[in-house]
Amino acid sequence: MAEDRTPPVLYPAMALLDYMHAPTVGFYYMGACAFSLCILQKSKPISHKRRRGVFVLMTILLLAYITEVLYYFSRSMADWQYEAPEPAAIRCLGSILVWSPLTYSVWSSKSLRWHPYFGAIVLQFAFETTTCLMGAFSIPVETRSGNVPFVIACIRALASLLLMLDGFVILITKHTEQEPSVDEERQSLLPKQTNGAAAQNSNGTYGAIAQEPSSDDEEAAPADRDKDIKAQQAKRLEEEGGWIGYLKAFAVFLPYLFPKDDWKVMGCLGLRLLHMIQERILNLLTPRQLGIITNKLQKSDGIMPWKDIMLWVLFTYINSYAGLGIIDGLANLVISNSAYRRITLLAYKHVLGLSMDFHTSKDSGEVLKAVEQASSLNSLIEMVLFDICPILLDLVVAMYYVTHLFDAYMAFIILFMGAAYVCIGWYFTTLSQPKRRDYVEKQRTESSTVNETVHNWQTVAYFNRLTFEHNRYASNIMSTIRAQYSYYFRSMGGHAAQDLLTTFGFAGCCVFGMSQIVTGRKPVGNLVTLIMYWHTMTSPLYVLSYSYRHISSSLIDAERLLQLLNTKPTVADQEGAKDIVVHTGEVEFKDVDFHYDERKPIIKGVNLKAGGGQTIAFVGETGGGKSTMLKLLFRFYDVTGGSIMIDGQDLRSVTQSSLRDALGLVPQDPVLFNQTIRQNIRYAKLDATDSEIEDACRAAAIHDDIVGFPDGYNSKVGERGVRLSGGQLQRIAIARVLLKNPKIVLLDEATSAIDSSIEALIQQAFRKLSQGRTTFVIAHRLSTIVEADQILVIEKGQIIERGRHHELLEILGGKYSELWTKQTAGHMSTANSKAPSKTPSVKGNDDNSAPLIDITPAEEDSAKATGRRDGDDDAVERRR
């Protein structure tokens, strides 16, 4: 067989071409792909016939490289004296690594970003043609046909030429018909935006959390939320012009992750960077030192290499957790905690500062999840900075060092094993992701079942459905277990395949190293170094194979937080807004209009003027807009027309904080924190003394009830105050306003859950509270507002009647007169029939001697029903 070695004259040039061939093609392709991804270059669908032709040519190219490698290997096995030309063998091995994924991607994808492929094909043709020409000039004519590597190179050059011509046709061909892709694994990470996704709010910013329509399928909701987030992500990518612009948006978090003014955090960051560099160096020096010790011990000269042993122990200690590792761990803890504290507080403050329209339409679970995303941001930065970047450096150093220990073939064995390891990890990650999602959703359903049942225990007891709920929960548990098995079988299958690969890869490397030791080309210490260095080389492979999924999920989590922070409050302080100054408390509505939806006005041209110290009452049917007017006065919303003035100051020109300090509200359905009664009342005035709190409770006629509880003012009220009756809740709300002592008082049906015996005391407290203060009252029980200075009858957002009680009664056929007649007639009928109270539980619970723990579930439900039967006006309007 003809000699296939390159003549010495052309050897340096051809060796350089061989060494440069695969890295040039591979790095160009990766760089071009990264660039096209950054600029969001559109992929180009390729017809089946054209794609099949490209695939066949690429397969011929790949098989030609494999054939040449097998030729060198077979000759080496047949003739131990034969040594394959290393540059040519490395070119073939490197090209196999490059063209295997390219061929697979052409076969598996119908739509490609073709520019990176075409550029790689052009470079491939240039290298192969040059190599063939140099071989043709250096090999005699009579021996060319028998030179197997030369013949294979000519076949590759021809295939490269055809591939380049075919690729050029694809490049200039304009596509006219889209071929839809239905394979889930071929879908983009960021799918095209669906209709309605990523809708912008009125001020041009994206809503914090995408609101999807309610669905009975609870398990579909998490996937839908991620789909909406990805749709918004895709739109942001298009708007920002690619990934570079998109990732710049996350730069807003950098001052919170790494604050320049915090020397402690910056110092810890410096320590982590130094530790990362030190770890890279010692990862190499520690196994090398053990190899040196082995080589010296092999000499059998009776001398103990104490110096080398001490260096090995020192390197091992420094690189362990007992050495500098604990310092790195503490530094990481400081950075993580600082980032979590800063970003979580930023999001928490931002959420509390958003307007009422956000809080009335938010998905609480999604908001809480978004607020908790500080850890995902920190883990994303940590993975990129301290895991992926060092891994790339480790791989480069490992390939160089293994080549130094043995030869380039050993490096290629490890490279092929590493590439296969990452591919297996990527494949099984993609395969198990749907099962993982299903498992998580089943867990969420299981948890939701428990929460619903526990929170609605009374309903379960009323209908005697304990057995049904037990069976339902058992079914959910079994569904979770089945989903877990399905997920773990796929996940563990991937781990098993990867471990099998690393086992045989490690055995192959050791056998290859032993063969060189047996022939005397390498010392035993090199094999010991390789064995000790093996873990350092292979441990990054796990991170690389699973980092894609982690980075993708971290970006989605960070996107939630970014969108939340980009949500702007619809009610905001104007630039240069001043604190409000309230003297007399005069309130004036001037031509006020308001709507939640432009298609349905809520308030229409309202004009009213309340003098300082006057009491203004709003009456009318539910849904007329009474509660909305109080919300406008509190500036939960801004008016859409006209203005609201307090002592001549437009509410839009003053700060919200000072305005709400000057107002006090007793809501229709008070909500308390799950804390003690004393803590709940002190919430109105944080520096209030115990005696001030008790005085306020006496004025609200709740003091005697509280001291009758087993723990008195230290009694816990339960979630949202469920351990108190409706009347007790409202009197505590009244006590809070009395303690706050505001300039203007708003009472939203504040006596709805109070019986007649307590009402007189409450009215007396109101009269004391109203002295010298402007008071707005919403009342359905007209007997409570007969002494008001002005009574406004509201109907469909308009004032249809106004005046004092006796003036309105004199209006023939008036709405107020009609309401008064209905109520008085109803009371007289009830008194004549001596019928029991409609709400006996409230009356019983409002007994001053009623202890906190004696409230029965039935009494509690009845009291709450009384307190909520009228509902919020604006909430009713929104439902309509």
List the domain boundaries for the chain.
11-173, 227-373+556-569, 587-879
User: Of all helices (H) and strands (E), which one includes residue 594?
Assistant: strand 587-597
Residue type, 564: L
Q: What is the mean pLDDT of the chain?
A: 77
Query: Which of 775, 746, 774, 719 lies closest to 636 in space, CA to CA?
Result: 746
What's the pLDDT band for 852 if we cut at 50, 70, 90?
very low
Count the neighbouring beta carbons within 10 Å of the beta carbon of residue 445.
15
For the residues 715-737, what does the mean pLDDT come to?
A: 83
Q: Check whether 831 has a pLDDT greater than 60.
A: no
pLDDT digits 0-9 by tens, 585-607: 888 898 889 888 788 888 888 88
Query: Which of 307, 503, 512 lies closest to 405 in space, CA to CA?
Result: 512
For the residues 427-454, what does the mean pLDDT come to?
A: 83
Q: 256 and 339 in contact (C-beta within 8 Å)?
A: yes
Among 149-153, 278-282, 364-368, 772-776, name the one with the lowest average pLDDT: 364-368
For the residues 53-71, what does the mean pLDDT come to?
A: 91
Q: 793 and 816 in contact (C-beta within 8 Å)?
A: yes
Query: Would you state the pLDDT for residue 826?
Result: 57
pLDDT digits 0-9 by tens, 158-211: 999 998 998 888 888 754 444 444 433 334 333 343 333 333 343 333 333 333
φ/ψ of residue 853, rounded to 5: -80, -5
Q: Please state the separation of Cα 815 from the chain's center in Å.
A: 53
Among 433-437, 464-468, 647-651, name the one with the lowest average pLDDT: 433-437
Q: Check whether 516 has a pLDDT greater than 80.
A: yes
Would you give the DSSP letter of residue 748? E
Q: How far apart are CA 748 and CA 626, in angstroms?
A: 9
pLDDT digits 0-9 by tens, 460-499: 888 888 899 999 999 999 999 999 998 888 888 888 888 8
Q: Check whether 538 has a pLDDT greater than 90.
A: no
pLDDT digits 0-9 by tens, 611-638: 888 888 898 877 778 888 888 888 888 8
Q: 422 and 541 in contact (C-beta within 8 Å)?
A: yes
For the residues 31-60, what does the mean pLDDT come to?
A: 81
Q: How far apart are CA 391 and CA 397, in angstroms?
A: 10
User: Among all chains, which residue has been given the structure tokens 């091992």?
Assistant: 316
Query: Would you state the pLDDT for residue 854?
Result: 38
Among 136-140, 222-226, 403-407, 833-837, name the one with the lowest average pLDDT: 833-837
The residues, ordered by sequence, that sit 6+ positions from 448 with a Cβ below 8 Å of its Cβ are 218
Among 138-142, 345-349, 506-510, name the one with the lowest average pLDDT: 138-142
For the residues 823-834, what does the mean pLDDT come to?
A: 57
Among 446-450, 657-661, 823-827, 839-843, name the one with the lowest average pLDDT: 839-843
- CA atoms lying within 13 Å on the CB side of residue 667: 12
Q: 175 and 110 in contact (C-beta within 8 Å)?
A: no
User: Of all helices (H) and strands (E), which one includes residue 29?
Assistant: helix 11-38
Query: Would you state the pLDDT for residue 161?
Result: 92
Query: Would you state the pLDDT for residue 206?
Result: 34
Q: Check whether 222 has a pLDDT greater than 60.
A: no
Beta-ladder partners of 589? 608, 644
- The 3 state secondary structure assigned to 396-418 is HHHHHHHHHHCCHHHHHHHHHHH
Q: How far apart are CA 596 and CA 562, in angstroms?
A: 26
pLDDT digits 0-9 by tens, 241-277: 566 666 666 777 777 777 888 888 889 888 988 988 8
Query: Which of 838, 852, 862, 840 lies closest to 728 in space, CA to CA?
Result: 852
CATH topology of domain 587-879: Rossmann fold (3.40.50)
pTM: 0.60
Query: Would you state the pLDDT for residue 443?
Result: 86
pLDDT digits 0-9 by tens, 27-43: 898 888 878 776 766 77
State what percent of residues in the chain have pLDDT above 90: 6
Query: Would you state the pLDDT for residue 480?
Result: 92
